């Protein structure tokens, strides 16, 4: 009976540890990853100014569209030079 209790305790500790890692991932890491993906997608679809010599970033215009393909406006974003 003691062995079964010990195994149950380890199972509970493991489940709690996995849940804690999941909470940390979804509250701290995932928003950063999601933001980077969104920014990369916008930069890939944006119209950018020419990069100045030695510049690491440039100003770009991103055109936003709704689901039907109608323009909903523009936004200015900063993208890395390619």
Give residue 64's pLDDT.
Answer: 87
Where are the extended beta strands (E) located within the chain?
47-48, 57-65, 71-80
- 31, β-bridge pairs: none
pLDDT cut 70: percent of the chain above it? 93
Question: How much is the average pLDDT of 25-32?
Answer: 95
pLDDT tens per residue, range 29-67: 999 999 999 999 988 888 888 887 778 888 889 888 888
Domain ranges of the chain: 2-80
Residue 25 has pLDDT above 90, yes or no: yes
Find all residues with CB under 8 Å of 58, minimum gap 6, and list them: 48, 49, 50, 51, 52, 78, 79, 80, 81
Reduce the DSSP state of residue 18 to 3 states and report it: helix
Reduce the DSSP state of residue 66 to 3 states and report it: coil
């Amino acid at each position: 009976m003691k062995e079964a209790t010990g195994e149950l305790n380890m199972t509970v500790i493991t489940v709690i540890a996995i849940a804690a890692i999941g909470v940390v991932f979804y509250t701290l890491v995932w928003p950063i990853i999601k933001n980077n993906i969104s920014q990369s997608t916008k930069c890939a679809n944006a119209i950018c100014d020419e990069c100045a010599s030695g510049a690491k970033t440039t100003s770009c215009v991103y055109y936003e569209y709704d689901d039907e393909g109608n323009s909903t406006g523009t936004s200015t974003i900063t993208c890395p030079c390619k």
